[in-house]
Amino acid sequence: MKEPILIELPTFFGMKTVNSFLFKDPVPTLIDCGEGTPEVWAALKRALKENGLEMKDIERVVITHAHVDHIGGAARLASECGATIWVSDLVYDWALNRKHNWEKRGKIMMGTLSRFFDKNTFENILSLYHTMEKMIKKAWPPVPQSHLHLFDHEGIIELNGTEWQVLYMPGHSANQSCFFNPRNGHLLSADMLLKVTPTPVMDTCKNAPTQRDKTIFKLLDSYQKIRQYDIRKIFPGHYDIFENATETIDRQVERIHQRAEECYQLIANGTHSFPDLGKALYGNNLHLPAVNMIIGYLDLLEAQNRIFFEKNEVGTLLIFAN
Q: CA nearest 267: which of 254, 278, 283?
A: 278
Q: Residue 262: give the domain boundaries.
A: 253-321
110 is a domain residue: no
Residue 14 has pLDDT above 80, yes or no: no
Domain-ending residue, one of 192, 223, 249:
249
Residues 36 and 88 in one domain: yes
Q: CA nearest 112: which of 198, 210, 208, 14?
A: 210
When pLDDT is averaged across residues 211-240 and rounded to a whole number, the result is 97
Domain-ending residue, one of 249, 279, 306:
249
pLDDT digits (tens, 9 = 90+) for 26-80: 999 999 999 999 999 999 999 999 999 999 999 999 999 999 999 999 999 999 9
Please report the sign of the dihedral spanned by the C-alpha atoms of residue 161, residue 25, residue 15, residue 176: negative
pTM beyond 0.75: the answer is yes
114 is a domain residue: no
217 is a domain residue: yes
Phi and psi angles of residue 85, each rounded to the nearest 5 degrees, phi first: -100, 110
Local confidence band at 300 (pLDDT 50, 70, 90 cut-offs):
very high
Residues 155 and 215 in one domain: yes
pLDDT digits (tens, 9 = 90+) for 124-183: 999 999 999 999 999 999 999 999 999 999 999 999 999 999 999 999 999 999 999 999
Domain-ending residue, one of 206, 229, 249:
249
Local confidence band at 285 (pLDDT 50, 70, 90 cut-offs):
confident
103 is a domain residue: no
Residue 207 has pLDDT above 90, yes or no: no
CB neighbours (10 Å) of residue 7? 23
Rounded-to-integer distance, Cα 312 and Cα 292, Å: 23
Look up the CATH number of the domain holding residue 276: 1.10.10.10
Contact 33, 73 (CB under 8 A): yes
Q: How many domains is the chain built from?
A: 2
> What's the pLDDT score for residue 287?
87
